[in-house]
Structure 1
Amino acid sequence: MNPADPRRLLRAMFDAAVAAAQPALCVPRHLPVPPKGRLVVIGAGKASAAMARAVEDHWHGPLSGLVVTRYGYGVPCERIEIVEAAHPVPDASGEIAAKRMLDMVRGLTSDDLVLCLISGGGSSLLPLALPGLTLEDKQALNRRLLASGASISEMNCVRRHLSAIKGGRLAAACHPARVLNLLLSDVPGDDPVDIASGPTVPDSTTCADALEILRRHEIDVPAQALSILRSGAGETLKQGDPRLPPIETRFIATPQMALEAAAALAREAGLAPCILGDAIEGEAREVAKAMAGIALQVARHGQPLAAPCVLLSGGETTVTLRGRGRGGRNVEFLLSLGIALNGEPGIHALAGDTDGVDGQEEIAGAVLAPDSLARARARGMKPRERLDDNDGHGFFEALGDSVVTGPTLTNVNDFRAIVIAADHGSSERVHRRN
C-alpha cells in the first residue's frame, strides 16, 4: 500500500479492521464441545446472523435456534431462524422475536446447552418491555436516549432496567441449561453487560443508577417507567442469583483486535502506528479537538512519535443533538477535527462505524483531507455552522467524501485513523478563518 495515497491507505486500514472482526473468522475456534442434550442457538445484534451462519458451517451435530438482526443484515441459514428488525429505534418485529426467544429456551434440561451469539445493536433488536410499558414507550425512550448525549453504558443501564429480557433475564429463562456467550464487543471497555444490554449475563448496576442517569441527562420517560425504577420492580439479576444457570462468556472480537489489524497494515505501508485507545468516549466534537492537538504536535514537533505515522483509536463517542442535522458521531468527530486542524498540510483522516451505519444513516463515516474545508467554502458551506447544526453527514456528502460500505455483518464500534505525512512543509501552512 502506497503511503503517498492517504485516502486509499485510510480506506484499506478501515477495511482491515472490519475484516478482522468477521464472524466467519472469529466464531469457529470458540465453538464448544457438543453437549449431551440439545444445542439451542439464540442471539441478537448486527452481526448475529453472520455469527449464526458461521456456527452452522462448522457444527456437524443437530441444532436449532433463533437470532434477530438489523434489517438488511440477514444471512441465509438452514437450521437457525433469522429474524430482521429495526435499529436503532425498535419495532414490533424485534418485540415478537424477543418473546419467541424466551419461549424457546424455557423447559430445557441441565444436559442442554444454549449458545448465545451477541453483538452490538442487540439492545434495540430485543425491545421486550416490562409489564406496564408498551413498545411505543420503548421507542420514545430510545429516541430520547439517542439524542441526549448519554454514553452507551448509560443508555444500556436504563434500557435493561425497563426490559423483560435484558440484564440477565434471558439467561434466567435458560435455567438449568448451561449458557455459553460468544460476544462480539462494540462497547468501550468490553463489559459484557453493555453488549446488547446484557441479556445473558448478571448485572451489577441498579434501578437507582438508571434513575440518576435520567436525571443527569434530563430525559423524560413515561410515568410508569419512573414507577418501575423507583419501586425497584425493574431490578436486574445480580452475580450469584440462584435463578441464573452456569454461564461462560467468551469475547470473539473486540475493538482492540480491529485496531491491531489496522496497525499491522500501516506498518506494511511504512507508517508507524500509534493506538491511542480502544475505549475513548466523550462528545465527538470535543474528542476531535484533543486528537487534533496530538496530530499537530506530531506534525510540527515529532512528538510523541515522528511522521510518517498514523494515530488509531476506537470506542464510542456521543453527539448531543441540538441542531437540525442528522447527527452521526463519526462525521461529527471528523468535521470538528477538520475545523481544529484548519487545513494543516499532510494530515488526512477517516472516521467510521465498523457496522457500516453512523448514527441512523446508511453511511459508515467519511474521510477528511487538508483541502476539505477550502472545498466546502468554495461550495458556499460554512464548516462551523454545519457543526453547530449537527450536519456532518450533509457536509461530507456534499464533498463526495462519505464512506459507504453497506452492511458489514460485524460491529466492533468506531474506527478512527489520522495519517500524518513525513514532511509536509510547515512553511506552507495557511490559516483560514472558520
Structure 2
Amino acid sequence: MDRTLLEQLFRRAVATAQPALGISLNLPPKPRGRTIVVGAGKASAQMARAFEQAWDGPLSGIVVTRYGYSEACEQIEIVEAAHPVPDEAGFLAARRIMETVSGLSPDDLVVALISGGGSSLLPAPAPGLTLHDEQVINKTLLASGAPISVMNMIRNQFSTIKGGRLAARCAPARVATLVVSDVPADDPAVVASGPTLPLFGTRELARKYASLYRLELPPNAANLLAGEENLAPTPHDAAFASNTIRTIASAGLSLEAAAAEARRQGVEAVILSDSMEGEARDVAQVHAAMAREIVLRDRPFTKPVVLLSGGETTVTLRGKGRGGRNTEFLLSLASIIDGMAGVSAVAADTDGIDGSEDNAGAFVDGTTATRLRKAGIDPLAALANNDAYSAFEAIGDLLVTGPTGTNVNDFRAILIR
C-alpha cells in the first residue's frame, strides 16, 4: 500500500511537469517575419509537439532529444542523439541548429525550447577541440562529483553553442526561451548550459573549479582553459536586449502537486527543499536522520507524514557498478533505516531515467537491507562499488516508467507511518 502511494506521488509530480500547459500559457508575441523553433533536452520533443499544437501560424525548426524520447511533429524536425555522453548525431544536430538560426532579420522570432540534458545533446567543440575531446570532458565531469552549476560552467568554456552563443548567432532576431527546469533553484541559465542565456562564471573561475575537482582534461582542452580564447558573451551583450525567458515547469511546482495529492489521501506532506545538492549518499544520511527523529520522537514533524524533496545530487564514482544518483541515494538510505518499521521511500528522476540505466529510480523500506543480504548482496559493499542498480534489480525494487516526456530533476518522498 505504501509503495502504491509513493508511486502515485511521483506520477503526480511528473504529470504536473508536462510541457503542454506551460507552453500554452507562455506563448511569445507573433513576429512580422518567420518563426523558427530550435531546442535541446530530454523534454524538447514533447515541448516541440506542444508548441506546434498551441501556435497559430507557420513555423519551422529542429530540436534534438535523447534516443527513444522522440515525438511526432509536423513542422518541427526531431533529431535523436546520445545522453549523457555526446555522439556524432548530437554534433551534427548542433551544427544544423546553428545554421538554422543564421542570417535572420529583426522581424524574425526564434523560439528556443530548452530542457535538462541539452548540454550533452548539443556538442559543439570550440576551435581546436574535437568531438572526442568533448566526450572525454563530459565523462570526466560526470565522474567528478561536481554540482551541475559547476559542470555547466566548465562545459561552457569548450563550446561554440552554450553560454548564450546560440542566442548571439540568432541576432538580430528576437529569441523567446521556454525552459523546463531540472536544476536547483531553477536558474534558467544553468539548464542545458544555457545555449540562449549567458552563464554565470568567468574563465578564471572555471579554471579554479577545474583545479578544485582535479579534472584531468584532454591536452587541447587544458590549453584552451589556460587562455582567453572562445569567451562567451556577457549578460550585457546587445544580442540579449530584446530576448525573453520563461520557466514553464519546475521541481517546485511538481513537489507542491505531490504534497497536495498526499494530503488528499490523508497524509500530511512537508516539502524540505526543491533544490537539494550534494553527494547522494550524504544527502540520504540527512534524510534518514530526520526520518529516525520522527519515528522515535515525533519531531520536527508528527507521524504520519511524507517528506518531499527535489534537486540534483551528485555521485563521485569510486567503483565500477551500475546505477544513478537516485538509486545511490536509496541504497545509502536503506542501510541507515535497516530494521526501522513504518518508513518507506521512493527516489526517481522525473525524466524516467536514473543515470544511464533503464529505470527512473527505486523503492526502499526498513526491510530492504535484510532482503538484499538474503539475496547475497552486502548493501554497503554495493554502495562502495556504485552498484545500486544491480542491488535493486536483484530484489525487484526498481521503478521503471520509460521516458516521461519531461524533466524537472529528482523526486524524493519518504513516508513515515
Asked if Structure 1 and Structure 2 have the same fold, meaning a TM-score greater than 0.5 normalized by the shorter chain, the answer is yes
Cα drift, residue 243 of structure 1 = 4.0
Distance 2:389 2:210 in 1: 28
**Deviation string, structure 1 residues 208-244 (Cα, Å, up to 9, x no partner):** 1211121111111122212212211132111111344
Distance 1:230 1:247 in 2: 32
Counterpart position of 2:78: 82
**Deviation string, structure 1 residues 359-389 (Cα, Å, up to 9, x no partner):** 1112111000221111111112111111111
Does residue 277 in structure 1 map to residue 273 in structure 2?
yes
Counterpart position of 1:377: 373
Does residue 263 in structure 1 map to residue 248 in structure 2?
no
Cα drift, residue 77 of structure 1 = 0.3
Letter in 2 for 1:307: K
Letter in 1 for 2:184: P
1:294 to 290, 305, 312: 290
Does residue 224 in structure 1 map to residue 220 in structure 2?
yes
Counterpart position of 1:328: 324
Which stretch shows the higher mean deviation, 245-254 or 261-270? 245-254
Does residue 344 in structure 1 map to residue 340 in structure 2?
yes
Residue pair 2:190, 2:199 contacting (<8 A) in 1 also: no
Counterpart position of 1:59: 55
Distance 2:414 2:26 in 1: 33
1:180 to 176, 198, 213: 176
Q: Report the secondary structure of 1:357's partner residue.
A: coil
Distance 2:255 2:156 in 1: 29
Does residue 146 in structure 1 map to residue 168 in structure 2?
no
Which stretch shows the higher mean deviation, 346-355 or 326-335? 326-335
Structure 1 residue runs of 5 or longer lacking an equivalent are 422-434
Distance 2:253 2:47 in 1: 17
Counterpart position of 1:111: 107
1:40 to 18, 36, 52: 36
**Deviation string, structure 1 residues 32-90 (Cα, Å, up to 9, x no partner):** 22111111111000000000000111112010111000000000101000000000000
Residue pair 1:168, 1:203 contacting (<8 A) in 2 also: yes
Counterpart position of 2:390: 394
Counterpart position of 2:236: 240
Q: Report the secondary structure of 2:58's partner residue.
A: coil
Distance 1:234 1:394 in 2: 42
Residue pair 1:122, 1:195 contacting (<8 A) in 2 also: yes
Q: Report the secondary structure of 2:186's partner residue.
A: coil
Counterpart position of 2:4: 8
Residue pair 2:348, 2:412 contacting (<8 A) in 1 also: yes
Does residue 160 in structure 1 map to residue 160 in structure 2?
no
Counterpart position of 1:313: 309
Cα drift, residue 327 of structure 1 = 3.4
Normalised by the length of structure 1, the TM-score is: 0.95
Distance 1:271 1:228 in 2: 54
Letter in 2 for 1:226: A
**Deviation string, structure 1 residues 387-429 (Cα, Å, up to 9, x no partner):** 11111101111010000010111000000000000xxxxxxxx
Residue pair 1:356, 1:407 contacting (<8 A) in 2 also: yes
Cα drift, residue 25 of structure 1 = 2.5
Q: Report the secondary structure of 1:264's partner residue.
A: helix
Letter in 2 for 1:270: G
| Percent identical residues | 54
Letter in 2 for 1:358: D
Normalised by the length of structure 2, the TM-score is: 0.98
Letter in 2 for 1:174: C
Residue pair 2:136, 2:218 contacting (<8 A) in 1 also: no
Moved over 2 A (4+): 242-245
Distance 1:22 1:177 in 2: 28
Residue pair 1:176, 1:245 contacting (<8 A) in 2 also: no
Structure 2 residue runs of 5 or longer lacking an equivalent are none
Q: Report the secondary structure of 1:18's partner residue.
A: helix
Letter in 2 for 1:126: L
**Deviation string, structure 1 residues 2-53 (Cα, Å, up to 9, x no partner):** xxx1100000000001000011232111112211111111100000000000
Residue pair 2:18, 2:405 contacting (<8 A) in 1 also: yes
Distance 1:203 1:335 in 2: 34
**Deviation string, structure 1 residues 174-229 (Cα, Å, up to 9, x no partner):** 10111111000000011122100000012231111211121111111122212212
Counterpart position of 2:165: 169
